[in-house]
Structure 1
Amino acid sequence: MTTTAAEYDLALPRKRVAAGILFFDEHDRVLLVDPIYKTPWEIPGGAVEPDEAPRAGARRELKEELGLDLEPGRLLGVDWTPPRPDRSEGIVFFFNGGHLTAEQHAAIQLQPDELRAYAYVPLDEIDRRLIPLLTRRVHASAQARAQGTTAYLENGNPT
């Protein structure tokens, strides 16, 4: 029996995809959020849904979590993560959110089913709130933002 191109395509492995947005304040501190459903802090964002572009997923997650409907800025980084015993491999996209205006900041409404709190944290202190993988991602994305480049990472490490 001959396999069609569509059948071949549908049989290919699928990867988890997530997207987040990095916001900074005037002191270049990064905005972190404290999820209710897990212990470590995160950046705004989450899983990209089927048939949804990563940028659209980041925007949707931002609206769901913080009540802000903002278009993500340029791509800061992409990270491939290998499979683990409890997770399949994945790809995560990081977009620049820039600085929130005073009006935007005042409009933040935490989704009570998802987030406990948010805080701006200096880059040299984020390791106290984030898992090491996310700490590496945020540092690489912040560096790419400062340099006007895009970071490619594997398991949070620049290649």
Structure 2
Amino acid sequence: MAANAHEAKMAHPRMAAGALFFDAADRILMVEPTYKDYWDIPGGYVETGESPLHAAVREVREELGITPPIGRLLAVDWAPNEAEGDKVLYLFDGGQLSQDHLAQITLQPDELKGFSFLPAEQVAERTIPRLARRILAATEARTHTAPVYLEHGQKPDSRAA
């Protein structure tokens, strides 16, 4: 196969990364974007030459004004989108935010109008289904030693491959 034909078949997905943060009651930090009609988690697109982990750290710093330690990978989600094409999304464990970090949160005003900690059972009420599935699967993965692989926020049926 010619190099150009091979290259044309290769996926060139957009990548995004975010972090899940929790409070002392194990509720999940959700943010209210100014440019979406649903709630999200802190994060955004990975820039050229940037790793997903570094993108998550940068996005948290830009959006919330804090730099808490971000831990291990919880989930990778293959989530192609008709409008944006192929996407691979990474969720990292931000752990429980300290009182100091909570007190230092300063929202990026052109991107976020609010934030709240939500119990897991309320996540689906505030966001779109595939994101809710991704958040809940990643939250569950915190109790396991390995990250979870998802497709559209769901564990794929390995027999379907």
TM-score by length of 2: 0.90
Where structure 2 has 5 or more consecutive residues not aligned to the other structure, the ranges are: 157-161
1:87 corresponds to which residue? 84
- Superposed CA deviations along residues 27-47 of structure 1, whole A, max 9, x for unmatched, are 110000000011100000011
1:82–1:103: structure 2 CA closer, same or farther, 3 Å change rule?
same
Q: Residue 12 of structure 2 aligns to a residue in which SS?
A: coil
Q: Residue 92 of structure 2 aligns to a residue in which SS?
A: strand
Does structure 1 conserve the Cα–Cα contact (< 8 Å) formed by 2:11 and 2:86? no
- Superposed CA deviations along residues 103-146 of structure 1, whole A, max 9, x for unmatched, are 11100000001100000000001111010001000110011002
1:105–1:10: structure 2 CA closer, same or farther, 3 Å change rule?
farther
- Superposed CA deviations along residues 71-121 of structure 1, whole A, max 9, x for unmatched, are 32000000001342x120100000000011101110000000110000000
2:28 corresponds to which residue? 30
1:117–1:15: structure 2 CA closer, same or farther, 3 Å change rule?
same
1:11–1:31: structure 2 CA closer, same or farther, 3 Å change rule?
same
Counting only pairs closer than 5 Å after superposition, residues 1-159 of structure 1 correspond to structure 2 as 3=3, 12-84=10-82, 86-159=83-156
1:148–1:11: structure 2 CA closer, same or farther, 3 Å change rule?
closer
Task: Give me the whole-angstrom Cα distance separating, in 1, the residues matched to 2:58 and 2:42.
Answer: 10
Identity over the aligned pairs, expressed in percent?
A: 42
Structure 1 stretches of 4+ with a deviation exceeding 6 A read none
Q: Residue 146 of structure 1 aligns to a residue in which SS?
A: coil
Task: Give me the whole-angstrom Cα distance separating, in 2, the residues matched to 1:72 and 1:55.
Answer: 8
Q: Displacement of 1:14 after TM fit?
A: 1.0
2:159 corresponds to which residue? none
Q: Residue 138 of structure 2 aligns to a residue in which SS?
A: helix
Q: Residue 74 of structure 2 aligns to a residue in which SS?
A: strand
1:103–1:17: structure 2 CA closer, same or farther, 3 Å change rule?
same
User: What is the root-mean-square deviation of aligned Cα atoms in Å?
Assistant: 1.9
TM-score by length of 1: 0.91
1:150–1:112: structure 2 CA closer, same or farther, 3 Å change rule?
same
Does structure 1 conserve the Cα–Cα contact (< 8 Å) formed by 2:68 and 2:97? no
